[in-house]
Structure 1
Amino acid sequence: MKNATPQVAASDTATSEELLASILKSLTDDKAEDIVQIDLRGKTEIGDFMVICSGRSTRQVASISEKLAQNIKDEFGRPPRVEGKDIGDWVLIDTGDVIVHVFRPEVREFYQLEKMWMDAAEPAVSTN
C-alpha cells in the first residue's frame, strides 16, 4: 500500500504576495491605467491588499476584469467573486486575500477609494 499524501491545491499554498504579483501582471498586460496597490494588513480583515486601477471605457473595464478573473481561476484554482462586470463602470474582484477595483476614470474620481484606505503618512504604491 502506497503512502497516501494529501495533495494541496495551489490556492491553499499561494501567499497573498504571490496572488498580488499575478494580479498586477495581469492588469499591466491588459493595459489597465493608474494601478495602485494598498497594503491592508493590520487595517482590516477583508484582505491583505487592495488594488485600484482604471480602464478607459466600460468595454475595457469589463475586459480587464473578465481576464483577471479567468487568470486567477486558471493559476490558483479558485474562481474569484466578481460584481459589476455587466455595467462596466466599477468592477469589484474579490480573490479573498486581494480585493481589486477596476473603474472608469470618472467613477474612480468620484469615489476616491485610495483616500479612504491610505494612511496620511503612507504613500500608495503605483505600478505605472
Structure 2
Amino acid sequence: MQSLDDDQAVEVVTIPLAGKSTIADHMVIASGRSTRQVASMAAKLAERIKAECGRSPRIEGLPTADWVLIDAGDVIVHLFRPEVRSFYNLERMWSFGDAPAAMPEPPRTGEQPRT
C-alpha cells in the first residue's frame, strides 16, 4: 500500500476476502489519473513485490493500462483509470454486503481536513 501512496494513487480501497473467496486474502483497488500513471504504479508495485517476496507477480493489462491486475498471491491489486473503475465497480461486486475499507486521502494544500 505504501507504494500506491507514494505514487499518488487515488481512492485506494482494501477488501478482505479471507473466508469469502479462495482466490486471495485481500483485494486492493486503486485509481490513477491517466493510463501513464496507472502503468507507472503497476510497474513500481511489481518491482517492489519482487524485491520483497523474491518472485515476480503476474500482471495483466499493462499494455493498455486502463485496468491493470497484479496477482501477488495472497493479494490481488486492481489499478484503474477512473472511468473504467466506475464502469466495472468491483468494490460493489466484491464487498459481500460489507462496506470496503477506504483509506482516507490526506487534504491537499489549502484544503480543510474532511470530517
Relative to the length of structure 1, the TM-score reads: 0.80
TM alignment of 1:21-100, pairs within 5 A: 24-100=1-77
- The question of 1:126 aligning with 2:102 is answered yes
- Partner of 1:109 in structure 2? 86
The runs of 5 or more residues in structure 1 that have no matched partner are: 1-23
Name the structure where helix makes up a greater proportion of residues: 1
- From the CA coordinates, give the structure whose radius of gyration is larger: 1
* SS of alignment partner, residue 59 of structure 1: helix
Q: CA deviation at 1:126?
A: 1.1
* SS of alignment partner, residue 13 of structure 2: strand
- Partner of 1:12 in structure 2? none
The runs of 5 or more residues in structure 2 that have no matched partner are: 105-115
**Segments of 4+ moved more than 6 angstroms:** none
Q: Percent same amino acid among aligned pairs?
A: 59
Q: How many residues align?
A: 104
Q: CA RMSD in A?
A: 0.7
Q: CA deviation at 1:125?
A: 0.8
Relative to the length of structure 2, the TM-score reads: 0.88
